[in-house]
Amino acid sequence: MEVFDRWRTWDDARAGLAEHPALDADRIGRAAHAAVRRHGDQTRPTGAPYLEHLLEALEVLVRGAGETDPDVLAAVLLHDVVEDTPATVADVEDEFGPRVAELVDWVTKPPAGGAGRQAKRAAKSAYLRRLRDAPPEAVRVKLADRVSNVQTLDRMPPDFQRRYYAETLTYIVPLTADEPWFASWYASWRKRYAHLL
């Protein structure tokens, strides 16, 4: 199972993107800088800068899945700005256009309707089920996001590992049906973490 963690900084990513001259590195760079501006000093649960997660997801799409669509690549860098910052879908549209905004909107988890753990889990399940109706480009953004989240699942607390593994099998792996590269990656990931069943 390949782990995508070479692009830790924008300089790393830019060097990696240079190996793919057909890509619009300037547009991707604008999205990366917008993500940094929006996320500020946010960190991941591991304490890593938030940008690392976004660049991992970008690396998954470019190096792994061979994605070249500039809107998909911009959206993967911006996929959490509406969910985790004060930015709105309209803000994303103003800066990057309607298609990027639509992709970000598809992968943005809506706020839970009520208080408490059950309401949050119900809202998340509904969001994950809704992804079955998403356009293929939005599905690829979500698949890359989840690769970044699960590729080092063993670094998370054991109870989280089991729950997240089961959630990924239930909701995310079925999304790979029309995505051969992702289907292969998730199959090897599934074997590596099969002990969590």
Q: Which of 5, 24, 69, 83 is catalytic?
A: 83
Determine the Cα–Cα distance for residues 61 and 136; give it in Å rounded to an integer.
Answer: 13
Q: Specify whether the CB–CB gap between 81 and 40 falls below 8 A.
A: no
Q: Specify whether the CB–CB gap between 25 and 14 falls below 8 A.
A: yes
| Active-site residue, 19 included | no
| Active-site residue, 178 included | no
Q: Which of 84, 95, 167, 179 is catalytic?
A: 84
Cβ contacts of 1 within 8 Å, gap of 6 or more: 151, 185, 188, 189, 191, 192
Q: At what angle do helices 89-96 and 25-39 cross, to 10 degrees?
A: 150
Catalytic residues: 83-84
